[in-house]
Amino acid sequence: MRTALELAQRETDDRLQAERAQASAEAEQLKAMITELRQELEAQQQKHAEVLQQQKQQAADEVRQLQATIQAIRDELAERR
């Protein structure tokens, strides 16, 4: 009887150890996945920031061009008076 109990205990311990190993492997996979997703997110945020900066620069350039056009029109109108 004692051997049967010991055998059952060993089997239970073996299953527990296998489940722990599997859980540990899954945890490592999840950590790797999280790291990869975090890196992708950071890359997307960087790209978004670059695009936003380009859009701001373009808008600033357009404002300067419009201001120059307005000044040129004002100068032309002043000459005609």
Q: What's the pTM?
A: 0.64
Beta-sheet strands, E only, within 1-81: none
Which contacts qualify for 21-30: CB closer than 8 Å, 24 or more apart?
none
Average confidence (pLDDT) per 10 residues, the chain, 81 residues: 86 96 98 98 98 98 98 95 81
Phi (first) and psi of residue 39, to 5 degrees = -65, -40
